[in-house]
């Protein structure tokens, strides 16, 4: 208990000081070794760093990051918005529908909530404000809608979870589809209520099949790549890592042939940006290798299990405690560190009380993403408020009902596990 508490105190102390999270994890792990005289040589420490990233599964992360960067740079975002507008823009309060549906479309391309918020928010937030919506509502809706980025596949968060827990990446990918759709539907419903209360009434165009056809003729590439990814994985043609490599090739073809990428320099900029994002994640994973070793030596999983099961004995009770803890922690810790530090411990506890491993994996990622919406650290909220040129303080009053909607769907997943397991069991057996 003492070792676990000490390393976490050191970790959060340096996080509060503003030190990069990867360095914080490394400092806490190494400090734990020397404070408690744990017998570990420098060569062993180095090997633990290497083991943190030495995985075939993790190769999928840079592939999907690069593919998402290419698709965004290629101008696919505009095509996605046109598609969403063609299908749902004619409904009353149309931009609420467009914002959520476009976020779900973008999730299948990017897989990053922050990237999706940046890509869509740049166009949608000014457009919503121009049509009579408040800037704060536009920012809050953009924030919550893009939580589905890492829930609907592809998703680097699911890949990380699979790496640490041994769960199937493919089953996690498919398992995230229905929860992502449920979050989208719930946000549309609550968003429409907010629009009615606030008096936001834009005047949409009438639905037109001609408009749909025109949007599809221009934006079919925005659907083709994610459709190929999903079909290839479900059909068993390739692993998630192999699919990531193929999607990179297809994204390049689409970006150069049908998008706005016209020079080698642009491709190099995309590659550099992708490499930076990958290095940040891999650095954190490398440092997490030693941190995880310390937690194993300290029997952290057993301690967490004993603590939670002493309070609750039912599956629902255990899951509610885990969600409450992670919701609180997500206010201060970003998505990737949450997975690296707590995925193994909490999945072990959940499985020990009979929770399906796939069910918990999807649930875990959903609640981790809720942390990306909550101040003061919420990464998606930060991106959206920056683009919307407003403050978190102004956005929070409108954000709260939308955030609670996402939390309500998360709690629903506890009691209806089939929302997470039905599609994987149906498609993969």
* Residue among 129, 73, 69, 71 at smallest CA distance from 99: 129
| Region of residue 416 (phi > 0: left; psi between -120 and 50: alpha; otherwise: beta) | beta
Please report, for residues 160, 231, 369, the alpha-carbon distance to residue 424 in angstroms, rounded to integers and kept in the order given: 19, 13, 21
Please give the radius of gyration of the chain, using alpha carbons only, rounded to the nearest integer: 22
- What averages of pLDDT result for each successive group of 10 residues across the chain (429 residues)? 76 80 82 76 73 79 83 76 78 80 80 78 83 88 89 88 91 94 93 85 71 79 77 80 84 76 84 87 81 77 82 88 87 82 90 94 93 81 86 89 94 95 89
Is residue 290 a contact partner of residue 30, using CB atoms and an 8 Å limit? yes
* Residue among 198, 29, 121, 41 at smallest CA distance from 383: 121
Crossing angle (nearest 10°) for helices 392-415 and 135-145: 30
Distance CA 363, CA 322 (A): 10
Which strand (E) or helix (H) includes residue 272? helix 264-297
Q: What is the pTM of this model?
A: 0.86
| Region of residue 86 (phi > 0: left; psi between -120 and 50: alpha; otherwise: beta) | alpha
Is residue 229 a contact partner of residue 243, using CB atoms and an 8 Å limit? yes
pLDDT of residue 259: 66
Is residue 210 a contact partner of residue 81, using CB atoms and an 8 Å limit? no
| Region of residue 389 (phi > 0: left; psi between -120 and 50: alpha; otherwise: beta) | left
* Residue among 365, 398, 356 at smallest CA distance from 381: 398
Distance of CA 392 to the CA centre of its chain: 20
Backbone φ and ψ of 389, nearest 5°: 55, 50
Distance CA 223, CA 230 (A): 11
pLDDT of residue 261: 79
Distance CA 365, CA 381 (A): 17
DSSP 299: T
pLDDT of residue 408: 95
Q: Per the structure block, which two tokens stand in for 232? A: 């290839």
Q: What is the DSSP string of 30-97?
A: HHHHHHTT----HHHHHHHHHHTT--SGGGHHHHHHHHHHHHHHTTHHHHHHHHHHHHHTTSTTHHHH
* Residue among 427, 358, 419, 426 at smallest CA distance from 185: 419
Which strand (E) or helix (H) includes residue 125? helix 113-130
∠ CA 14-272-263, nearest 5°, is 155
């Amino acid at each position: 208990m003492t070792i676990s508490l000490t390393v976490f105190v050191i970790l959060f102390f340096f996080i509060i000081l503003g030190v990069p999270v990867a360095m914080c994890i490394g400092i806490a792990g190494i400090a734990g070794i020397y404070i408690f005289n744990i017998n570990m040589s420098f060569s062993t420490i180095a090997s633990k760093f290497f083991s943190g990233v030495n995985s075939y599964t993790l190769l999928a992360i840079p592939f999907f990051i690069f593919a998402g960067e290419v698709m965004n740079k290629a101008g696919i975002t505009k095509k996605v918005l046109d598609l969403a507008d063609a299908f749902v823009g004619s409904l009353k309060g149309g931009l609420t529908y467009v914002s959520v549906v476009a976020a779900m479309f973008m999730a299948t391309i990017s897989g990053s909530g922050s990237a999706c918020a940046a890509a869509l928010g740049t166009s949608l937030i000014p457009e919503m404000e121009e049509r009579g919506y408040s800037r704060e509502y536009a920012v809050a809706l953009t924030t919550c809608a893009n939580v589905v980025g890492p829930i609907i596949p592809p998703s680097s968060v699911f890949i990380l979870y699979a790496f640490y827990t041994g769960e199937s990446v493919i089953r996690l990918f498919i398992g995230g589809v229905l929860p992502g759709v449920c979050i989208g539907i719930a946000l549309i419903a609550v968003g429409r209520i907010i629009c009615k209360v606030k008096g936001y009434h834009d005047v949409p165009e009438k639905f037109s099949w001609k408009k749909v056809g025109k949007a599809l003729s221009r934006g079919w590439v925005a659907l083709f790549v994610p459709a190929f990814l999903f079909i290839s994985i479900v059909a068993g043609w390739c692993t998630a890592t192999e699919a990531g490599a193929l999607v990179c090739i297809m994204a390049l073809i689409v970006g150069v042939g049908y998008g706005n990428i016209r020079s080698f320099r642009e491709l190099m900029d995309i590659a550099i940006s992708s490499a930076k994002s990958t290095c940040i994640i891999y650095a954190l994973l490398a440092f997490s290798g030693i941190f995880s070793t310390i937690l194993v030596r300290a029997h952290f999983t057993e301690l967490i299990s004993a603590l939670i099961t002493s309070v609750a004995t039912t599956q629902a009770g255990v899951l509610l405690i885990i969600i409450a803890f992670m919701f609180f922690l997500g206010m201060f810790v970003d998505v990737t560190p949450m997975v690296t530090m707590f995925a193994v411990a909490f999945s072990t506890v959940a499985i020990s009380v009979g929770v399906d491993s796939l069910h918990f994996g999807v649930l875990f990622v959903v609640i981790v993403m809720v942390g990306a919406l909550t101040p003061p650290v919420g990464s998606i909220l930060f991106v959206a408020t920056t683009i919307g040129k407003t403050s978190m303080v102004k956005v929070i009053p409108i954000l709260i009902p939308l955030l609670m909607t996402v939390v309500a769907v998360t709690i629903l997943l506890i009691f209806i596990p089939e929302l997470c397991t039905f599609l994987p069991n149906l498609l993969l057996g």
